[in-house]
Structure 1
Amino acid sequence: MNSAQRPGSPALPRRSRLALALCLAPGLALPAVAQDDPRHEEPTDLDAVIVRATPLPKTAEDLTRPVEVLAGARLDEAKANSLGETVARLPGVQSSYFGPGVGRPIIRGLDGARVQVLNDGLGSGDVSTLSADHAVSIEPFLANQIEVLKGPATLLYGSGAIGGAVNVVDGRIPEAVTAQPLEGRAELRAGSVNDEKTGMVRVDATSASGNLVFHVDGLHRETGDYDIPGFAESAGLRAEEAAEGEEAEEIAGTLPNSALRTDSGALGVSWVGGRGFIGVGASLFNTRYGIPGAAHHHDDGHDEADGSEDAQVDIVLDQRRQEVRAGLDELGAFQTLRVKLARNDYTHTEFEGGAVGTVFDNRAYEGRAELVHRAWAGWTGAFGLQVSRREFSAVGDEAFVPGSDSRDTGLFWVGERDFGALSLELGARHDRSSIDVDPAVAVGPSRDFDGTSLSAAARWNFGEDVHLSLGLDRAQRAPAAEELYSNGLHVATGSFEFGDPTLDVETARRAELGLHWHRGALKLDAALYQVHYDDFIHLADTGVEAHGTPARVWNQADARFTGGEIDVQWTFLENETGAWTARVFADTVRARLTGDGERTVAFAVEEDGEVEAFTADIAQSGNLPRIAPGRVGAELRWAGNGWRAGLGAVRYASQDDVAAFETATDGYTLVHANLAWHRDTPGGNAWELFLDGSNLLDQEARPHTSFLKDLAPLPGRSVTAGVRVFF
């Protein structure tokens, strides 16, 4: 059965939905070619892009905290079906993987509840941190730029950003008048590995009065099951099954139940005046995706992975979001005031063999205010207030986390001052959070937490081209609901999962040394960091199997993360043939528990009305599970006369620094390429033809960060072609 025809899909036929999205794009006919118009030139120096994730706007190069930015042509080339895959080639950043519909950013080995995903400064409002098979409800194809804050961003965004934050800027609520009365962009693309068909359009317009600014966007994407180089199951799993006398799996060439369908759209309008703006917007995000290999986890692991319709698991995610944003400038002693409010209605339905299995509902509210003050005693800074509430419920046989009502309030200040060649940034934040649960269904009581975060960063400017930075942070994170109250079968991870309602706040202390050198055609960025965690919360394998299914518990122990990154870019030739740039990058992270001894845990599993009790000893030292392997990448880029092209490869090392009961993963190399031809027209419009390739060597690639690494490899060789129109 086609993915667009499964239960929960919109009633509008797929061809009609695609046509509806594309007919909004004006000027799709390609006019006569003219000389390039500077208005359509793409940014070549991403360090010069203003970063919006901080209340004190600066360029990426001027910020003392480590940040990566994707914008312009580089963002166009990186855009993928998931946010994680879009940012996965940035140094220090990789992606989780649960099929093509799910990819969450992993920053320096940290993911889930430690990496905050933001929609222009406000939380995404989804439940992607709850489970590895839950998608992020943000569409990267509609982004203007994507910013990755590496290291603790707790100071700005609270407990859930202790490992970093990814901020997607989409401009759905305009904050300024447009450069032209009507402008926008549209895109059509088709891909070979999964029969992808994607159409996207966004339009921004300013009224004749010059005060009202309108925004509209829409996207539709459909893919089929994707091609893989060999077998769906890894060689290790096939050998294990053969040794146990099980029949060998024969799924090869195409990965069953890996299809994807996504619809997204938004409307926004703002009044823009001389001293500020106020705007409102509404958006929707709806996606349906299959879970490859889910039959292995279903029914306590007894079903066969036959890819049949009766065995497959599909997820339908629907989110409706409303926002209000306002800004006011020149307030006497204060420079700016920015206020943001959002309301999200989110429903996530898991279908098992076409029938509704489990339904997750999440209603989230968030408000944020930032007040930037002028220099006080030489310090320029900003006060901030962030308030959020989440009403979560789960209903179904596999609702392993009880419903909860969570509230968070955070108050912070961040400031900076220059002392000649030395720039100093300081900040402090205090958070108060609570999780209320029904004691009749939860394994523990409601909890309240307090957390305090402090940050200091210094930058020495040895000249216009070189600066050295030092960052010191103390950040705290409160436990998430799933870490406290999980109690039952978690189909996505193929395990029974048990929380610990006595978990305490975890505390991270980071030290980072960074170097930036940018002289002429050569640019170098490097960083070394170490993070010590007190009471690090992690999902530990017990080594116990209950009714043939592994049991895992949420545990706390001290931990240490040590890593480094380097990124070198050199424009070694620039003449009449164009500009030729070589880039090399590498990153690595080592993560270990540093506690002592073992901890004895007890848990019980209910099966057919009978309860069986278990105990296990959890080691408080050793490697942490699913840590991203080290990488090295190289790329050659060329641009000239309206053309641009690139060829690159990323080598992922094998990962054998594994936790107890975890298997090692082989290394692999992914080769990618891109080619684009850009032309502007006499009317001020532009168009671009592009051709992108990924995994060009058709390598079998199994990310170590994926729970499905033995069941679902990455897609094989893929070629994507399309056209972009700018107007």
Structure 2
Amino acid sequence: MPKHSLMAGAVLHALWLFAASASAQEGDQTLPTVEVTATPFNASEGAQILTPAKVLSGAELRNKLGTSLGATLNDELGVSASGFGAGASRPIIRGLEGPRLRIMQNGMGVGDVSTVSNDHAVAIESSTARQIEILRGPAALLYGSGAIGGLVNIVNDRIPTELMPAPTGEAELRYSTADQGKNLSFATDAAAGTIGLHLDGHARTTGDYRIPGFAAPGDAASSYGVLPISFTHSRSLGFGASHIGDWGYVGASVATRRDRYGIPTAERSSIDLSETRFDADGLVRKPVEGIRSIRVRLASTDYEHVEQTAAGAPASRFLNRTLESRWEAVHEPLSGWRGTVGIQTERNRYSALSASTGRADTVPITRSSSVAAFIVEEKDVGPFTASAGLRLENLSRSPERAGLQDRSFNLASYSVGGLWRFLPGYGLGTTLSIAQRAPGTEELYSNGPHESTASFDIGNAALGKETSRNIELSLQKTEGLVRWRGNLFQNRVKDFIYARDTGVLVDESGAIDPAGEFRRRLWSQGDATIRGAEAEVSYNLRGDGLSLRAFADTSRGRLDGAGNLPLQPASRIGLDAGYKRGAWRSTASLIHAYRQERLASFEANPTPGYTRLDASLSYDQRIGRTRVTWFMLANNLLNQDIRLSTSLLREVAPQPGRNVTMGVRTTF
């Protein structure tokens, strides 16, 4: 039996012993719950046994904030990060990423191109969010065929849904030592009669960050002590307003974002990103007999980023313009069934063109449109809860280049599940799901160089749709001071789409050249299987006094008959401890990731294991109606050379070394 399997078994046994011993000390105390807005029933976090969820909010979210969404979520159960420099790190859930993981803002798609390549940033800001929700499991499929792996929903309340009796808000200023980073963020809400108002924004600048040793392991010719071209510059501003009454609300918002960040590769390229976004949201309560509420949401994004060479010359221009709508109706219980039905539409125009000539050297202008209908229902029968969901979708892609064929896909996804509450606070559940995903524009029609990844990508217009069959077993305790959960899952994917690295070097025209700077990648298909397990136990996680959390997660993805899937996450174990008393709060976190040697055929070197130690200390004080929090965060205190197995840059770009962040936050 492999060593990491033995260790995982030992860790799971230790978690069970910890839960058993802590349960003996437990009284009738209960902890506050957090509502998950991205679930069909807006249930509490602890009730998500059929759709395993995690919500980051409050002090926990602020302590984990990074310069990217992936860095913020990297320590959560079953979640890792792509680690493509400080500016572009996207979350990976259970070994699945890119187009199989949907990123949303307030329940609507982000509208960027971060699913296309790891060097593309997620165009959304975590520092102005009220909470971040993670869903792993079948219910995520109701938000699109791109949610096979799960979804992440960033909630920023940009469109107010309730009237504030007095102005409220939050502002934060922080400085970090490893990258000389400076960050200012704020969000505020107010009301004028029946009009709710919201304003938020941020500005962040970081330099090239410090690393413990050489950028490339054992290569004295590589950079030492600092990782070149790892800087970030980012700013955003958003405003929203809504009319709110007992009947519901209707509102709109506008936001702009501008990023510039480096790609720490030998090409020393950088990306200049801009986006403008418009949202509208309206909800009417009890519009007709039998309907509890009707909600309509619209989102329009105008996204652009330019990939620049080391000399600052523009190389490629990526454009994406999207219009998405979502119509949902929550009905009154029918024969005990409660649920939501709806329709979702999306249109977008995407391209990756030469910045100098305007030619479609990478991806041609392609128009895509989709229409989907969905329903999810739930019913309680004694101690049992039954759940079922269905999504039917049609998606079409039309490239504007001669010789490329239009494609249309009919997609069907459904899930069924059951939960047995065999004791108060305890639940045993299982879910079965089948989900289908259409190939993305870049997977079908790419045919050109990608400067930031140093790859020459060649699509396949004949690719078929993916079909994923997932089974999951869950056991958890959701009440009291001690809470725990365990998940086992298997995902079998027919016609899994992946980029196959041929190992051939080519020039910018695609011609074979042993000295070429681009590696040729072909979009291909093959059957795949992903299996994994997760376990977590916590004590007094949100209460005063001592708090503890331990976790372990592992997953493995294989192409049937063709070896391992690329960029698979390492198995991990972790332990968090915290203490809160009066105005003081402190935490310490220790995470160990094991050596990852389950490599794809074209991956050369295993990723060494590492141990990361983090800590935090904060102090709250009241000044009138304002609460001021002084805080200090320390990351990678052991100054470990950390290389993520999920990063394409793991052999040339380690994670930051020892870093101390100091700051102050005010809320009123």
TM-score normalised per structure 1? 0.84
- Comparing 74-83 and 542-551, the one that deviates more: 542-551
1:344 paired to 2:306: no
Task: Choose from 625, 634, 637 the match for 1:693.
Answer: 634
Give per-residue Cα distances to partners, 1:595-652, cap 9 Å, x unaligned: 5xxxxxxxxxxxxxxxxxxxxxxxxx21111111111111111101111101111111
Structure 2 letter corresponding to 1:639: K
SS at match of 1:257: coil
CA distance in 1, matches of 2:588, 2:290: 51
Partner of 1:252: 224
SS at match of 2:443: helix
1:51 paired to 2:28: no
Aligned-residue offset at 1:573: 13
Q: Could you tell me whether the CA contact under 8 Å between 1:533 and 1:558 is conserved in 2?
A: yes
Aligned-residue offset at 1:344: 0.6
Partner of 1:604: none
- Unaligned stretches of 5+ in structure 2? 1-28, 506-511
Partner of 2:654: 713
Alpha-carbon spacing, 1:572–1:706, altered in 2? closer, same or farther (3 Å): closer
Q: Could you tell me whether the CA contact under 8 Å between 2:188 and 2:198 is conserved in 1?
A: yes
CA distance in 1, matches of 2:519, 2:222: 25
Where do residues 676-687 of structure 1 align in structure 2 (5 Å cutoff)? 676-681=618-623, 683-687=624-628
Partner of 2:476: 516
SS at match of 1:194: coil
Partner of 1:80: 66
Where do residues 539-688 of structure 1 align in structure 2 (5 Å cutoff)? 539-545=499-505, 546-548=512-514, 549-571=518-540, 579-595=545-561, 621-663=562-604, 664-681=606-623, 683-688=624-629
Aligned-residue offset at 1:497: 1.7
CA distance in 2, matches of 1:550, 1:270: 50
SS at match of 1:141: coil
Partner of 1:485: 445
Quote the RMSD (CA, aligned, Å): 1.7
Q: Could you tell me whether the CA contact under 8 Å between 1:421 and 1:460 is conserved in 2?
A: yes
Structure 1 letter corresponding to 2:628: W
Alpha-carbon spacing, 1:132–1:519, altered in 2? closer, same or farther (3 Å): closer
Partner of 2:195: 212
Alpha-carbon spacing, 1:358–1:490, altered in 2? closer, same or farther (3 Å): closer
- Unaligned stretches of 5+ in structure 1? 1-43, 239-247, 296-311, 596-620
Q: Could you tell me whether the CA contact under 8 Å between 2:51 and 2:138 is conserved in 1?
A: no
Alpha-carbon spacing, 1:114–1:572, altered in 2? closer, same or farther (3 Å): closer
Partner of 1:122: 108
1:165 paired to 2:151: yes
Aligned-residue offset at 1:684: 2.5
Structure 1 letter corresponding to 2:586: A
Partner of 1:189: 174
CA distance in 2, matches of 1:286, 1:181: 31
SS at match of 1:61: helix
CA distance in 2, matches of 1:404, 1:498: 16
Structure 1 letter corresponding to 2:286: E
Alpha-carbon spacing, 1:363–1:61, altered in 2? closer, same or farther (3 Å): same
Structure 2 letter corresponding to 1:692: L
CA distance in 2, matches of 1:133, 1:119: 20
Partner of 1:469: 429
Give per-residue Cα distances to partners, 1:648-674, cap 9 Å, x unaligned: 111111111101020211111111111
CA distance in 1, matches of 2:72, 2:381: 38
Alpha-carbon spacing, 1:276–1:643, altered in 2? closer, same or farther (3 Å): same
- Comparing 399-408 and 474-483, the one that deviates more: 399-408
Partner of 1:234: 217
Structure 2 letter corresponding to 1:381: G
Structure 2 letter corresponding to 1:334: I
Q: Could you tell me whether the CA contact under 8 Å between 2:171 and 2:667 is conserved in 1?
A: yes
CA distance in 2, matches of 1:455, 1:161: 13
Q: Could you tell me whether the CA contact under 8 Å between 1:153 and 1:162 is conserved in 2?
A: no
Aligned-residue offset at 1:357: 1.5
Q: Could you tell me whether the CA contact under 8 Å between 1:155 and 1:412 is conserved in 2?
A: no
Q: Could you tell me whether the CA contact under 8 Å between 1:189 and 1:197 is conserved in 2?
A: yes
CA distance in 1, matches of 2:453, 2:278: 33
Q: Could you tell me whether the CA contact under 8 Å between 1:678 and 1:687 is conserved in 2?
A: yes
CA distance in 2, matches of 1:72, 1:202: 14
Aligned-residue offset at 1:67: 1.1
SS at match of 1:140: coil
CA distance in 1, matches of 2:240, 2:542: 44
Partner of 2:15: none
1:277 paired to 2:249: yes
Aligned-residue offset at 1:678: 1.4
1:62 paired to 2:62: no
Q: Could you tell me whether the CA contact under 8 Å between 1:196 and 1:224 is conserved in 2?
A: yes
Give per-residue Cα distances to partners, 1:231-281, cap 9 Å, x unaligned: 11123xx3xxxxxxxxx5141111111111100111111100111000011
Aligned-residue offset at 1:153: 4.6
CA distance in 2, matches of 1:466, 1:152: 21
Structure 2 letter corresponding to 1:411: A
CA distance in 1, matches of 2:32, 2:555: 24
CA distance in 2, matches of 1:94, 1:46: 27
CA distance in 1, matches of 2:534, 2:579: 24
CA distance in 2, matches of 1:97, 1:378: 46
TM-score normalised per structure 2? 0.91
Give per-residue Cα distances to partners, 1:27-60, cap 9 Å, x unaligned: xxxxxxxxxxxxxxxxx98881111112321111
SS at match of 1:48: coil
CA distance in 2, matches of 1:717, 1:420: 53
Structure 1 letter corresponding to 2:281: R
- Comparing 194-203 and 549-558, the one that deviates more: 549-558
Alpha-carbon spacing, 1:349–1:550, altered in 2? closer, same or farther (3 Å): closer
CA distance in 1, matches of 2:31, 2:260: 34
CA distance in 2, matches of 1:518, 1:448: 44
Q: Could you tell me whether the CA contact under 8 Å between 1:101 and 1:135 is conserved in 2?
A: yes
Give per-residue Cα distances to partners, 1:285-321, cap 9 Å, x unaligned: 11100111142xxxxxxxxxxxxxxxx3111110000
CA distance in 2, matches of 1:182, 1:551: 56
Partner of 2:259: 287
Q: Could you tell me whether the CA contact under 8 Å between 1:643 and 1:678 is conserved in 2?
A: yes
Structure 1 letter corresponding to 2:340: A
Aligned-residue offset at 1:152: 4.0
CA distance in 1, matches of 2:143, 2:306: 29
Aligned-residue offset at 1:680: 2.9
CA distance in 1, matches of 2:252, 2:224: 49
Structure 2 letter corresponding to 1:234: P
Q: Could you tell me whether the CA contact under 8 Å between 1:499 and 1:553 is conserved in 2?
A: yes
CA distance in 2, matches of 1:536, 1:278: 41
Q: Number of residue pairs matched?
A: 623
Aligned-residue offset at 1:519: 5.3
Where do residues 10-21 of structure 1 align in structure 2 (5 Å cutoff)? none
Alpha-carbon spacing, 1:571–1:56, altered in 2? closer, same or farther (3 Å): closer
Aligned-residue offset at 1:484: 1.0
Partner of 1:433: 395
Task: Choose from 390, 404, 408 the match for 2:366.
Answer: 404
Task: Choose from 422, 434, 449 the match for 2:384.
Answer: 422
CA distance in 1, matches of 2:145, 2:266: 32
Structure 1 letter corresponding to 2:69: L
Runs of 4+ in 1 over 4 A off after TM superposition: 44-47
